[in-house]
Chain A
Amino acid sequence: MNKPRVVIIGIGNEFGGDDAVGLVVARKLKRSTLDRVAICEENGEGTALIELWRSADLAILIDAAYSGADPGKIYRFEAHVRPIPTEFFRRSTHAFGVPEAIELARTLKRLPKRIVVYGIEGERFGAAIGLSRAVETAAQEVVNRVLRDCEKASRSETRTEGHTLNPQSEKTWVRCLSVLTWGLTKTSL
């Protein structure tokens, strides 16, 4: 199997109202055919994220933001260039969340070459199922933007030489697929 060059990680809690938006974006992206792109759903625990993007050239993270802006506002951060604002992601229920994971990885030299973080401003974060309307609309826009990011990554890849397989990246790909397989198996029982 070819090494995935892009890892997309949708982050959130599907019982947390708009906190599920990262998961929703990831699920929408899974409907597309993307070559050598791994798509994962995670709850935002930072040390797990560091493992997921290992050996990827580009990691794209999507998470709910809480900055006080209008619901549905989309943020895009190039986190390989500079730290992302931690106050935007304070709603994480994990002590070691996305901003901390990125900074720890930077310190340990375990960031991918490029890491892009999309934040979608949420409206309601209490216990609930389903996105608010503005966030649902923004989610689709982020899907489109991520697809463009992947296309650009793919075009830039065709201009470089081929790469040897990396077992770690293959494990990431296999793990993301295995999650999908377990889910499908469970549904069919």
Chain B
Amino acid sequence: MARSRTIDVDALTRVEGEGALHVRIRGSSVLDAKLSIYEPPRFFEAFLRGRHFTEASDITARICGICPVAYQMSATHAMENACAVRVNGPLRALRRLIYCGEWIESHALHVYMLHAPDFLGYDSAIHMARDEPQIVQRGLQLKKTGNELVAFLGGREIHPVNVRVGGFYSVPSKPELMLIGEKLKRAREIAQETLRWVKRFTFPDFEQDYEFVALRHQEEYPFNEGRLVSNKGLDIAVDQYDGNFTEEQVPHSNALHSRIEKRGSYVTGPLARYNLNFDKLSRSAQEAALEAGLERTCRNPFKSIIVRCVEILYACDEALRIIEEYEAPTQSAVPVLPRAATGYGCTEAPRGILYHRYRIDEKGKILDAKIVPPTSQNQSTIEKDLKHFVEENITLPNEKLTWQCEQLIRNYDPCISCATHFLRLHIERE
């Protein structure tokens, strides 16, 4: 009779939120790999009904403390889309700049505090700090600079208060921006040091045939705008999202699973952006990526930590470019008058595409809302990765296999706060 095992991790650590994973093994076969998420789903969508369209960015920002800017950007773009308004010029540049800050702080937190310990054999960043305090201090400094950029433009680093439909409540002067530019130059150096550190890690040999989905813009590495594309033929405008992506309820989870219509699971996030937009990275980020051992495409999710480092470097480059070219606008925001319409917004949160759709009436009251965070979109792929990874490494002892399963989940930097509120990890061995 085939030997059965169950991997059971009761509480997944070093992810945003809590989650549950069940993996059942019999002999050399994986019977089941399920990511279970327990959370009353989608209450923010309910909160939004009846509120004014100008409130969506402030309310949705409170879904997550790590990526509030992403929620604000997707919400404001969706509302501006509904009201047929487009923000251009310096205001558009400032939006990219605040997004640079969020990518820097979110990726720095994940690389240093959440994921690097896995590669180096530490239980946590605290354990890593006992041996390598200078390295951890470096990560904190990098994150702090990202937070300072968000706070400078957004009014505060958590749940920024300066972002509004149409632009901002207040915009900085050029001299003010130049001051924070000095801090970004140091952050750029740290980003390069981080890449040199991470490229020396040992990466499990694991590749899958993913469908990567990301925004693609004609001229720039994507933050706020672009078409939705994939490496398997998808090329649609953002307002066609609902016709091409479906969500389905699975019995073991309260978070819905996303699929591309008629095809199935997909990946969004840094790896997807990198694969679909390498040519749009800054020259220094491209060179650093290749020097770190990446090719122009990458299908190994364990190497997503290198890609995050490349994106930190790119965000520093882009932020410095924007600051150099900045001329303060005459107005902090353009007028946005409500009308009865449906608006669509999709921006690149640190973890991947974040889709918002709102229907508003002629007075700007929100009638319904739909929010699809990147983490929920990656759930199916996480489960598939777990199944395939365990199959390929089935002879590993339980302890090591469990460790690497958790490391694999952290490849996706899942923000369960966004997808849900609580997630407990149980891997059962039968």
Q: Hey, which bits of chain A sit against chain B, CB under 8 A?
A: 13-16, 42-48, 50-51, 90-91, 93-96, 100, 103-104, 107-108, 125-127, 175, 178-179, 182-183, 185-186, 189
Contacts and interface: CB of A to CB of B under 8 A. Distances in A.
For A48, A94, A95, A104, the residue with the greatest tally of chain B CB atoms inside 10 Å of its CB is A95
A14 B144 CA distance: 24
Contacts of A46: 113
A108 B169 contact: no
CB-CB nearest 6 A-B residue pairs: A127-B43, A43-B65, A93-B417, A182-B155, A182-B161, A107-B129
17 contacts: A13-B62, A14-B62, A42-B158, A47-B109, A47-B140, A47-B144, A48-B157, A48-B158, A51-B147, A94-B17, A95-B13, A96-B114, A107-B130, A126-B40, A127-B421, A182-B162, A185-B169
Nearest to B133: A108
A126 B40 CA distance: 7
A126 B43 contact: yes
A50 B65 CA distance: 16
For A48, A90, A185, the residue with the greatest tally of chain B CB atoms inside 10 Å of its CB is A48
Given A43-B159, A104-B125, A95 B114 contact: yes
A71 B388 CA distance: 44
A107 B126 contact: yes
A47 B109 CA distance: 8
Interface residues of B, number: 43
Contacts of A107: 126, 129-130, 133
Nearest to A109: B133
A93 B169 contact: no
A127 B47 contact: yes
A50 B11 CA distance: 25
Contacts of B151: 175
B16 A104 contact: no
Nearest to A50: B140
B192 interface: no
Interface string B42-78: 0110010000000000010010011000000000000
B351 interface: no
B417 A182 contact: no
A69 B203 CA distance: 44
A52 to B, nearest CB: 10
A181 to B, nearest CB: 9
Contacts of B359: none
B16 A94 contact: yes
Nearest to B420: A93
